[in-house]
């Protein structure tokens, strides 16, 4: 699924493999969607992806602000999502105490 | 079309050019050639980045690392450290004045640091339900290359040269398997993707299909062209609903895009894929049983030869590969066999996906180059054992595999080394066991699993595994006899010799490997009626140490059998007659007063 396709200033990816869903990724997704509705945020893309590998730290999500390195958040709760959305997605400030790491993995 | 692993976005705005960005460009290109990286890394000159004061500036993509104030002298170091070794050069990075990032880089985290993603290249990056995102990351490029510019022989040659071996467990060279199938006479041939993942604690295939279904389809398409197959089957477990859903979506999208069906990419190549759902029998992972199940017969193995390459699904030449193998194929075709065969060990090339589970801090799905040691897997990637417990063993290869003890922690992981150690690579399950695990109980668990899953066709497997289970259960129950151990070894050998397929052929492995490395635990059970790890219920008693008991009564209130009694403010006592040995008291006691003997 994907909300608000196209260009945006930020993209939030919720990792929804079986492990993520079992750890509560659907709740995280719902919390995120609530954050988008009130007040209506139009330039943030919310999308899903598969397992990010570190299953023991699920639910996880990745926040990418246009032009910046992606940041992975782990061990999420609905409250943490609210904070991350308000501080990182909207204001660009990384929520350091919830963040797992910044950047991407080595592929190929 | 050429694709690059990394783009170096060097600013060529007026400000940076006057600070010498073209000299930096020349220096970068020199260094890239020196390390033979020119085909993997592209230097791109961009427009003004706006940060002229810090120029020349450069952004490394996809890492997203920003370098500033570059000089020619910095470049050799930068290329070697960051581009070659993947370690960004802190000193050249921009640090915003007041704010230092307290968040580590992905590459600083042990779990991610040693991984190298090939089969899992798109994990967590793309939306698996959108073919556009797969294509956006270079997907179906290898298919285009294979269909338009490579002959069947060239594809097979490339696969053989890559050294890729079957990721399902047996490790048969993939290129050779393709060649054997391609050589068979006959118009109709099939390919099969084996997604019948049944090892307890293993979820590699599920995760690949869930996070990147198109990579499997693309691999199958390339294989179909090489072999000359017109139809493919994905055999996948019904217990994987999300994987099934995403695979179905992916198939529909690929058909809509003309990547499946007739005249694919206008090349006259026809191929389609259908899904066959398995009901969850472990033996279906064995290829001849899988074929039986696909045809609607009971899943029972049959004698090979003829191998499926000669006579497979409905008697037609059939090539069966595992999910992970198929997912790796596109990258080999895209980047070439030489690139792939540089990774890994002498006999085992490339990377392998493992599901790292059990008593480790970081559990999850990891993809590492072959040849990495077990120690790196357990301690660097896994983060060690939780709760300061001692490491005891790693169980690899699932019920067909064995347990590798601490003395072999520095063993490099490849097909041959694991076999020498009495285990197997298998499909990639890796279960870490700590000191609280009883190895006899582990053997009992796997034997129990296998006696259920044996299809019953071969007497040795059907009866032998069951008898081994009964004996090991007796040992766990304190009824073990001295003569049991040689009998188990003899039985294990008989089951190995007398079984037709790999299920029976490897069923004694968990037992034999624990007997080989942890014989003293079996002996303690038999001779001293003692379970050293404190697991086997018949051999242990729970006791409360009166010196340590603080009379908080937590154990007393939580005991489900009401076996704990004692007055307030006095040490508590466990009644061994009532105690069911559930361990709740030990888990709840904050003062470690409950001991197991």
In chain A, domain spans:
2-102
- Cβ neighbours of B364 in A, within 8 Å: 19, 51, 53-57
- Cβ neighbours of A19 in B, within 8 Å: 203, 207, 364
Measured CA to CA, the distance from residue B583 to residue B585 in angstroms comes to: 5
The number of C-alpha atoms within 13 Å of B60 and in the hemisphere containing its C-beta is 25
From the number of C-beta atoms within 10 Å of its C-beta (0-12, 13-18, 19+), residue A28 rates as: buried
CA angle A67, B81, B380 (to 5 degrees): 90
Measured CA to CA, the distance from residue B445 to residue B401 in angstroms comes to: 13
Predicted local confidence at residue B101, as pLDDT: 58
A32 contact partners, CB below 8 Å, separation of at least 6: A12, A14, A46, A61, A81, A85
Q: Is the dihedral of CA B339, B343, B348, B353 positive or negative?
A: negative
Measured CA to CA, the distance from residue B401 to residue B423 in angstroms comes to: 5
Quick: pLDDT tens for B172-194.
999 999 999 999 999 999 999 99
- Cβ neighbours of B380 in A, within 8 Å: none
Predicted local confidence at residue B95, as pLDDT: 67
pLDDT over threshold 60, residue B99: no
From the number of C-beta atoms within 10 Å of its C-beta (0-12, 13-18, 19+), residue B307 rates as: middle
pLDDT over threshold 80, residue B301: yes
Percent of chain B with pLDDT over 70: 98
User: With b meaning 16 or more CB within 10 Å and e meaning fewer, what string describes B16-34?
Assistant: bbebbbeebbebbbebbee
B240 contact partners, CB below 8 Å, separation of at least 6: A18, B195, B206, B209, B210
Predicted local confidence at residue B100, as pLDDT: 53
pTM of the predicted model as reported, rounded to 2 decimal places: 0.82
> The complex's ipTM?
0.82
Nearest CA in chain A to B105: A102
Predicted local confidence at residue B212, as pLDDT: 95
Nearest CA in chain A to B351: A108
What mean pLDDT is predicted for residues B224-237?
96
Task: Give φ, ψ of B460 to 5 degrees.
Answer: -60, -40
- Interface probe for B, chosen from A18, A102, A107 (most Cβ of B below 10 Å), is A107
The maximal CA–CA distance of chain B, rounded, in angstroms, is 88
Q: Least CB-CB distance to B207: which of A51, A104, A108?
A: A51
A38 contact partners, CB below 8 Å, separation of at least 6: none
Measured CA to CA, the distance from residue A9 to residue A63 in angstroms comes to: 11
For chain B, domains (ranges, CATH) are: 6-96 (3.40.30.10), 131-339 (3.40.50.11540), 351-434 (3.10.20.600), 439-527 (1.20.1440.230), 541-596 (3.30.70.20)
Measured CA to CA, the distance from residue A48 to residue B583 in angstroms comes to: 41
- Cβ neighbours of A52 in B, within 8 Å: 123-124
Task: Give φ, ψ of B55 to 5 degrees.
Answer: -70, 160
**Cβ separation of B124 and A50 shorter than 8 Å?**
yes
pLDDT tier at B47, thresholds 50, 70, 90:
confident
Q: Are A14 and A59 in contact (CB under 8 A)?
A: yes
Measured CA to CA, the distance from residue B138 to residue B216 in angstroms comes to: 14
- Domain A2-102: homologous superfamily in CATH: Glutaredoxin (3.40.30.10)
**Cβ separation of A52 and B111 shorter than 8 Å?**
no
Name the residue with tokens 């308000």.
A86
What mean pLDDT is predicted for residues B224-231?
96
């Amino acid at each position: 699924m994907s909300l608000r396709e196209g260009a945006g200033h930020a993209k939030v990816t919720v990792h929804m493999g079986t492990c993520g869903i079992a750890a509560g990724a659907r709740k995280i997704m719902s919390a995120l969607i609530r954050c988008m509705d009130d007040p209506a945020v139009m330039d943030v893309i919310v999308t899903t992806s598969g397992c990010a590998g570190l299953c023991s730290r699920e639910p996880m999500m990745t926040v990418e602000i246009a032009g910046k390195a992606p940041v992975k958040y782990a061990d999420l709760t609905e409250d943490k999502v609210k904070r991350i959305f308000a501080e990182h997605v909207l204001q660009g400030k990384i929520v350091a105490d919830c963040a797992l790491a910044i950047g991407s993995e080595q592929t190929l | 079309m050429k694709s690059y692993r990394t783009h170096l976005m060097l600013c060529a705005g007026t400000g940076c050019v006057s600070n010498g960005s073209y000299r930096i460009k020349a220096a970068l290109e020199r260094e890239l050639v020196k390390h033979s990286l020119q085909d993997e890394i592209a230097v791109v000159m961009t427009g003004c980045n706006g940060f002229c004061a810090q120029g020349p500036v450069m952004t490394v993509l996809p890492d997203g690392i920003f370098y500033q104030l570059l000089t020619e002298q910095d470049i050799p170091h930068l290329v070697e450290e960051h581009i070659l070794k993947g370690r960004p050069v802190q000193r050249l990075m921009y640090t915003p004045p007041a704010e230092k990032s307290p968040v580590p880089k992905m590459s600083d985290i042990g779990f991610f640091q040693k991984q190298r993603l090939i089969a899992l290249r798109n994990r967590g990056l793309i939306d698996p339900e959108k073919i556009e995102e797969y294509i956006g990351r270079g997907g179906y490029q290898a298919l285009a290359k294979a269909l338009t510019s490579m002959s069947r022989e060239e594809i097979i040659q490339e696969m053989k040269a890559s050294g890729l071996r079957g990721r399902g467990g047996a490790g048969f060279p993939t290129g050779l398997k393709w060649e054997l199938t391609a050589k068979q006479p006959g118009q109709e041939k099939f390919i099969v993707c084996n997604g019948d993942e049944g090892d307890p604690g293993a979820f590699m295939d599920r995760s690949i299909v869930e996070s990147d279904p198109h990579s499997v389809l693309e691999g199958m398409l390339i294989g179909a062209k090489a072999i000359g197959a017109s139809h493919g089957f994905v055999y996948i477990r019904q217990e994987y609903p999300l994987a099934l859903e995403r695979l179905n979506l992916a198939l529909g999208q690929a058909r809509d895009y003309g990547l499946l069906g007739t005249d694919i990419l206008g090349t006259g190549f026809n191929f389609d894929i259908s899904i066959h759902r398995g009901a969850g029998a472990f033996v279906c992972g064995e290829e001849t049983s899988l074929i039986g199940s696909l045809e609607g017969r009971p899943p029972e193995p049959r004698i090979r030869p003829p191998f499926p390459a000669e006579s497979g699904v409905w008697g037609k030449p059939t090539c069966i590969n595992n999910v992970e193998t198929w997912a790796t194929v596109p990258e080999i075709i895209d980047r070439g066999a030489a690139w792939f065969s540089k990774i890994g060990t002498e006999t085992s090339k490339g990377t392998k996906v493992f599901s790292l589970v059990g008593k480790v801090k970081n559990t999850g799905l990891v993809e590492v180059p072959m040849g990495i040691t077990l120690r790196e897997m357990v301690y660097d990637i896994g983060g060690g054992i939780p709760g300061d417990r001692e490491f005891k063993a790693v169980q690899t290869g699932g019920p067909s595999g064995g347990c590798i003890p601490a003395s072999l922690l520095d063993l490099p992981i490849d097909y041959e080394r694991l076999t020498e150690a009495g285990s197997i690579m298998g499909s990639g399950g890796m279960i870490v066991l700590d000191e609280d695990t009883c190895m006899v109980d582990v053997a009992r668990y796997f034997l129990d699993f296998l006696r259920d899953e044996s299809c019953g066709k071969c007497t040795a497997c059907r009866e032998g595994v069951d008898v081994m289970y009964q004996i090991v259960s007796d040992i766990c129950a304190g009824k073990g006899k001295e003569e049991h151990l040689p009998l188990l070894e003899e039985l294990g050998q008989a089951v190995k010799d007398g079984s037709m397929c790999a299920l029976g052929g490897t069923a004694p492995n968990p037992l034999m490997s624990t007997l080989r490395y942890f014989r003293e635990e079996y002996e303690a059970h038999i001779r001293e009626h003692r379970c050293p790890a404190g697991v086997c219920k018949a051999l242990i008693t729970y006791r409360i140490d009166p010196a340590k008991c603080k009379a908080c009564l937590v154990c007393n209130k939580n005991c489900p059998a009401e076996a704990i009694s004692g007055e307030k403010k006095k040490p508590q006592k466990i009644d061994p007659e009532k105690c069911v040995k559930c361990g709740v008291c030990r888990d709840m006691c904050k003062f470690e007063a409950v001991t197991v003997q």
